[in-house]
Amino acid sequence: MAPPKAGLLSLNTATTRGRWGLAQAIEGCARHGIRGISPWRDLLHVMGVKQAARAIRAHALTVTGLCRGGMFPARDARTRKANIADNLRAIDEAQALGAQCLVLVVGGLPEGSKDIAGARAQVKDGIATILPQAKAAGIPLAIEPLHPMYAADRACVNTLSQALDLCDALDPKKTGALGVAVDVYHVWWDPQLEAQIRRAGKRRLLAYHICDWLVPTTDLLLDRGMMGDGVVDLKRIRGWMTRAGYRGLHEVEIFSANNWWTRDPDEVLATCKARHRWMS
């Protein structure tokens, strides 16, 4: 397979979180010729939504996604209502940035609960509640399945199949308003991955996140690898995405507290560009 074009690279700001705020990440992308950016909302709030939108437009960057909405399950109705309100704010923020989607990390078990089926039901209800506003704003919602190790605390949707079942239930006509974010760190291990990417197809594949799985992994959250440093067959998965119709950018999202977050972010971006070219 031919290497991906350089213009397909996007920076998820988690990758430079250790050293850069959002304004610095925007400038860094422009300096390195990286075409896309995906901000996290905490960094967005520090910079300010209007200021960030102006800077992103000034540098002609594509906002491949806003991270994140979701976190729907809660112990009581009051907290569930607050979670919905936060998601509605996230939709407004994504619209202000011109984001291609709002990424949903759906949430795990409510505190004290052992009812994962109930948590998944709350996720379905939560997405159904915010979907009309997302449609009105023109912001597709991208459900991101997370590795099963996060089922309890971060995401009770853990496979692409589960995410697509939600899409089929809530958006059966495949309007483009609801789809998935395929993050290789979370789904590379799934024996059904190729089939589920094919099932998703062009209408459901809203975002593609790349990094690598290190062996050994020293931290289940904060030890992701740079592309090419681990065991994920990135070229094969990219081929599956391409054959299924995905034509979007490739978003590098690396949580790496003891390695990449400690380095000069300009080095990190230069490495992302080189590895994306030859390892992805």
pLDDT tens track for 95-129: 999 999 999 999 999 999 999 999 999 999 999 99
* Rounded percentage of the chain residues whose pLDDT exceeds 90: 97
269 torsion bin: left (phi>0), alpha (psi -120 to 50), beta (else)? alpha
In the chain the beta strands, taken as DSSP E runs, fall at: 9-12, 36-38, 62-63, 66-70, 102-105, 141-143, 178-183, 205-210, 250-252
Residues β-bridged to residue 107: 155
Of 150, 176, 182, 149, give the one whose Cα is nearest residue 163.
182
DSSP 8-class letter at 40: B
Position 13 scores a pLDDT of 98
As for how many domains the chain has, the answer is 1
What are the residues whose beta carbons fall under 8 Å from the beta carbon of 58, sequence distance 6 or more? none
12 is a domain residue: no
Residue 19 within any structural domain of the chain: no
Whether residue 9 lies inside any domain: the answer is no
Instruction: Provide the pLDDT for residue 2.
Output: 85
Q: What is the mean pLDDT of residues 177-198?
A: 98
Question: Bridge-partner residues for 121, per DSSP?
Answer: none
Question: Which domain covers residue 263, as residue numbers?
Answer: 27-279
Q: Which are the contacts of 182, defined by CB distance < 8 A and separation ≥ 6?
A: 160, 197, 200, 205, 207, 208, 209, 237, 241
**Measured in Å, how far apart are the chain's first and last C-alpha atoms?**
10
Distance CA 145, CA 190 (A): 11
- Distance, in Å, from the CA atom of 74 to the CA atom of 98, rounded to the nearest integer, reads 30
Indicate the length of the chain as a whole number.
280
Q: Is residue 16 part of a domain?
A: no
Secondary structure of residue 220 in the 3-state scheme:
coil
Report the distance separating Cα 228 and Cα 225, nearest Å. 8
Dihedral (CA of 81, 149, 69, 187) sign: negative
Domain-located, residue 14: no
Residue 1 has pLDDT above 80, yes or no: no
Task: Count other C-beta atoms under 10 Å from residue 223's C-beta.
Answer: 18
Average pLDDT of the chain? Answer: 97
Does residue 17 belong to any structural domain of this protein? Answer: no
Judge whether residue 272 has pLDDT over 80: yes
The CATH number of the domain holding residue 176 is 3.20.20.150
Q: 259 Cβ partners below 8 Å, 6+ apart?
A: 223
Residue 97: name the closest of 40, 154, 163, 136 by CA.
Answer: 40
Query: Where does the pLDDT of residue 132 fall: very low under 50, low under 70, confident under 90, or very high at 90 and above?
Result: very high
Summarised one tens digit per residue, pLDDT across range 44-87 is: 999 999 999 999 999 999 999 999 999 999 999 999 999 999 99
Q: Is residue 146 part of a domain?
A: yes
Angle of the 265-279 helix axis to the 22-32 helix axis, nearest 10: 50
Per-residue pLDDT of 8-36, as tens digits, reads 999 999 999 989 999 999 999 999 999 99
Residue 165 banded pLDDT, cuts 50, 70, 90? very high
Query: What is the reported pLDDT for 45?
Result: 98
Q: CA 241, CA 261: separation in Å to the nearest integer?
A: 28
Q: Is 63 a domain residue?
A: yes
